[in-house]
């Protein structure tokens, strides 16, 4: 049995022509204002792609953050190979015209498995399914992962079948973990798929079957990552735990993923040794709370120091669970940068978010990280229920004074399967997604505050919200110095301010975000 595992399929082009129509141009800019920039020749281009072109890199070898090797592809391909399957791993497909599709065709797979960790919408999934089935009409295409599992959990069997039909793929793995279902699907393909739990699939005659649900409880120690097909110099993403021990009000991951499950540290070290032997240039630990529990984290840091692997590593970090000595040991073990999910500079909003932290917890932690030479990227949400102009100013003050190297902000995104939905009435919270309103702010006002802070903050550098710390890690691994990276980001940010002035400020055509929000309100009233 021959299986292709695809870590991610990017369907959006990295560059688009900006529409001549002013309203359509404004809508395009508004939706991607902080992740793309308008060039002098009227193109709307991804930040890293612009840098790639400025450096004169060949079209067949562009800079792309997606070149980092993603956890899902590494984990699933290792898991299937361990059970005897011949597997080709495709880390990322850049488009429907990616030359790697020729490699897949030459491999002649029986099954193509696609991760949806970074799929955000049903239209994105449909584009993936349609592209693969056009190119490989006789290959069985199965999709699983975050987008599939979180979308299906809200559906009955009829809706699940309808979603599979619209997606264009042949099967879904209907479980938040899914490793066991994918393995069993491959083992029972093609004649016994009706025996595989957690699979929704299409028969050759077009009939769609929804198999029984049996939630998986896979041992994280039995899905270790191998690096047999890794190119030297790569950045690899690995996990040492599943789920998260916190219950932040805006996040559904702990509820979806279940109790925290941690990998034995000896298995973590085996994985790191294998990454080192394969020539990995850096490791990104994708655990949501890598340094919690603190004792486990400190023991791992000590093991890494003793091993002297000399691999730079990056991770998410909770500042309230480090001390000065531990930060020094992190640096000694190879830590080069951390992502800090601060979310707000206001204690009031942090309490509403149930972050289990107050703003002052970060002050010493950021200082210790800075003194140790560890890069910090802070994440912030603007507009969470309870947000006011005053709490926004507290966030601005935090970013300006606490010493973060880099930061990014995003407007609150209201998901109905997150804990805050259960408290919506307390805050007068209505709407969904990007378009919402609560007693003290609405989504339009949140966007306005974000744009204002983007202009006003001077003591930290804004990074791409889609790439965050990834952007730093990837470009430094490509030989860019930290000062060169800062110059690149400042240049991009200046271009962003110019496009805000041109397309989104008062006097430009009507703000597309406000237009969309108004339309959503009108539809809600009509309904």
CB 45 within 8 A of CB 35: no
**What are the respective helix, strand and coil percentages of the chain, to the nearest 5?**
45, 20, 35
pLDDT in tens, 72-86: 999 999 999 999 999
Residue 511 has pLDDT above 90, yes or no: no
Helices (H) and strands (E) in the chain, counts: 20, 22
- Tell me which of 324 and 95 has the higher pLDDT: 324
The strand pair at 86-90 and 2-6 is best described as parallel
> What pLDDT score does 60 carry?
81
Residue 517 has pLDDT above 50, yes or no: no
> What average pLDDT does this structure show over 448-455?
96
Residue 505 in tokens: 């400020």
- Answer yes or no: is 129 within a domain: yes
- Answer yes or no: is 454 within a domain: no
Kindly indicate the confidence band of residue 513, based on its pLDDT and cuts at 50, 70 and 90: very low
Taking the alpha carbons of 72, 78, 84, 87 in that order, is the dihedral positive or negative? positive
> What average pLDDT does this structure show over 270-279?
96
- Tell me which of 455 and 416 has the higher pLDDT: 455
Upstream peptide bond of 502 is cis (omega within 30 degrees of 0) = no
Category of 195 on φ-ψ map: left (φ > 0), alpha (ψ -120 to 50) or beta: alpha
Least confident among 269-273, 357-361, 427-431: 357-361
> What pLDDT score does 514 carry?
46
> What average pLDDT does this structure show over 282-308?
94
> What pLDDT score does 255 carry?
59
CB 93 within 8 A of CB 7: no
Residue 524 has pLDDT above 60, yes or no: no
> What pLDDT score does 357 carry?
79
462/454 Cα distance (integer angstroms): 8
Kindly indicate the confidence band of residue 336, based on its pLDDT and cuts at 50, 70 and 90: very high
Residue 328 has pLDDT above 60, yes or no: yes
> What average pLDDT does this structure show over 162-189?
96
Q: What is the DSSP string of 178-244?
A: -HHHHHHHHHHTTTTGGG-TTEEEE-TTS-EEEPPP------GGGS----TTPPTT-EEEE-SEES-
Exposed / middle / buried, residue 99 (Cβ in 10 Å: 0-12, 13-18, 19+): exposed
- In 183-194, which positions are buried (b, 16+ CB within 10 angstroms) versus exposed (e)? bbbbeebeeebe
> What pLDDT score does 320 carry?
87
> What pLDDT score does 478 carry?
93
> What average pLDDT does this structure show over 24-48?
95
Angle (nearest 5°) at CA 243 between 238 and 248:
125
119/241 Cα distance (integer angstroms): 22
Share of the chain above pLDDT 70, in %: 93
Q: Containing domain of residue 98, as a range?
A: 2-11+68-210
pLDDT in tens, 91-124: 999 887 789 999 999 999 999 999 999 998 899 9
Kindly indicate the confidence band of residue 251, based on its pLDDT and cuts at 50, 70 and 90: low
> What are phi and psi for residue 249, nearest 5 degrees?
-70, -20
Q: What is the DSSP string of 314-346?
A: EEEE-GGG--HHHHHHHHHHTEEEEEEEEE-S-
- Answer yes or no: is 197 within a domain: yes
Residue 191 has pLDDT above 70, yes or no: yes
CATH code for position 102: 3.40.50.280
Share of the chain above pLDDT 90, in %: 80
236/89 Cα distance (integer angstroms): 14
Structural domain count, the chain? 1
Query: How many residues in the chain?
Result: 527
Q: What global pTM score does this model have? A: 0.90
Residue 448 has pLDDT above 50, yes or no: yes
The secondary structure element, H or E, covering residue 111 is: strand 111-115
- Answer yes or no: is 440 within a domain: no
For residue 62, list its beta bridge partners. Answer: none
> What pLDDT score does 47 carry?
97
441/304 Cα distance (integer angstroms): 46
Please compute, for residue 376, the number of CA atoms within 13 A of its CA located in the half-sphere on the CB side: 27
Taking the alpha carbons of 513, 517, 522, 527 in that order, is the dihedral positive or negative? positive
Least confident among 57-66, 125-134, 390-399: 57-66
pLDDT in tens, 218-241: 898 988 999 989 999 999 999 999
- Answer yes or no: is 333 within a domain: no
Kindly indicate the confidence band of residue 519, based on its pLDDT and cuts at 50, 70 and 90: very low
**Cα dist from 517 to 98, 432, 439, 446, whole Å:** 36, 10, 16, 12
pLDDT in tens, 413-432: 998 878 888 899 999 999 99
- Answer yes or no: is 148 within a domain: yes
Kindly indicate the confidence band of residue 262, based on its pLDDT and cuts at 50, 70 and 90: confident
253/320 Cα distance (integer angstroms): 21
pLDDT in tens, 136-160: 999 999 999 989 998 998 899 999 9
> What pLDDT score does 247 carry?
63
Residue 53 has pLDDT above 50, yes or no: yes
> Taking the mean position of all CA atoms in its chain, how far away is CA 305?
29
- Answer yes or no: is 466 within a domain: no
Kindly indicate the confidence band of residue 512, based on its pLDDT and cuts at 50, 70 and 90: very low
- Answer yes or no: is 256 within a domain: no
List all residues 6 or more positions away from 457 whose beta carbon is below 8 Å from its beta carbon.
396, 399, 400, 407
Residue 259 has pLDDT above 90, yes or no: no
End-to-end C-alpha distance for the chain, whole angstroms: 51
């Amino acid at each position: 049995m021959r299986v292709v595992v695809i870590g991610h399929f990017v369907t959006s082009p990295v560059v688009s022509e900006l529409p001549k129509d002013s309203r359509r141009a404004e809508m395009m800019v508004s939706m991607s204002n902080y992740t793309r920039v308008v060039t002098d020749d009227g193109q709307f281009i991804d930040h890293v792609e612009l840098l790639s072109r400025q450096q004169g890199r060949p079209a067949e070898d562009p800079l792309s953050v997606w070149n980092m090797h993603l956890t899902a592809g590494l984990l699933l391909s290792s898991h299937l190979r361990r059970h005897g399957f011949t597997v080709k791993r495709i880390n990322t497909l850049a488009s429907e015209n990616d030359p790697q599709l020729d490699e897949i065709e030459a491999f002649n797979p029986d099954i193509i498995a696609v991760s949806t960790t970074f799929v955000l919408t049903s239209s994105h999934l449909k584009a993936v399914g349609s592209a693969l089935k056009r190119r490989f009409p006789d290959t069985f295409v199965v999709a699983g992962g975050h987008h599939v599992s979180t979308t299906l959990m809200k559906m009955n069997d009829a809706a699940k079948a309808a979603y599979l039909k619209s997606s264009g793929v042949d099967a879904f793995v209907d479980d938040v973990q899914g490793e066991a279902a994918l393995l069993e699907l491959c083992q029972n393909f093609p004649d016994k798929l009706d025996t595989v739990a957690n699979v929704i699939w299409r028969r050759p005659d077009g009939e769609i079957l929804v198999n029984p649900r049996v939630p998986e409880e896979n041992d994280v120690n039995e899905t270790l990552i191998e690096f047999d097909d890794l190119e030297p110099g790569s950045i690899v993403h690995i996990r040492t735990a599943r789920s998260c021990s916190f219950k932040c009000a805006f996040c559904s991951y702990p509820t979806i993923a279940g109790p925290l499950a941690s990998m034995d540290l000896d298995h973590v070290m085996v994985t790191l040794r294998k990454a080192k032997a394969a020539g990995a240039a850096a490791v990104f630990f994708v655990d949501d709370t890598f340094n919690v529990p603190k004792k486990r984290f400190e023991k791992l840091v000590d093991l890494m120091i003793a091993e002297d692997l000399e691999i730079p590593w990056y991770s998410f970090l909770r500042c309230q669970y480090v001390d000065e000595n531990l930060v020094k040991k992190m640096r000694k073990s190879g830590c080069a940068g951390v992502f800090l999910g601060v979310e707000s500079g206001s204690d009031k909003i942090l309490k509403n978010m149930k972050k289990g932290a107050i703003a002052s917890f970060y002050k010493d932690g950021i200082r210790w990280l800075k003194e140790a030479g560890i890069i910090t990227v802070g994440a912030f949400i603007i507009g969470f229920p309870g947000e006011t102009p005053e709490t926004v100013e507290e966030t601005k003050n935090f970013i300006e004074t606490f010493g973060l190297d880099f930061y990014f902000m995003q407007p609150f995104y209201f998901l109905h399967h997150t804990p805050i939905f259960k408290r919506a009435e307390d805050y007068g919270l209505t709407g969904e997604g990007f378009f919402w309103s609560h007693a003290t702010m609405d989504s339009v006002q949140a966007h306005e505050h974000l744009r204002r802070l983007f202009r006003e903050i001077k003591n930290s550098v804004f990074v791409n919200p889609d790439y965050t710390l990834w952007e730093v890690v990837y470009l430094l691994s490509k030989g860019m110095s930290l000062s060169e990276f800062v110059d690149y980001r400042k240049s991009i940010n200046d271009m962003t301010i110019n496009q805000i002035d041109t397309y989104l400020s008062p006097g430009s055509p009507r703000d597309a975000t406000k237009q969309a929000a108004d339309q959503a309100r009108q539809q809600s009233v009509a309904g």
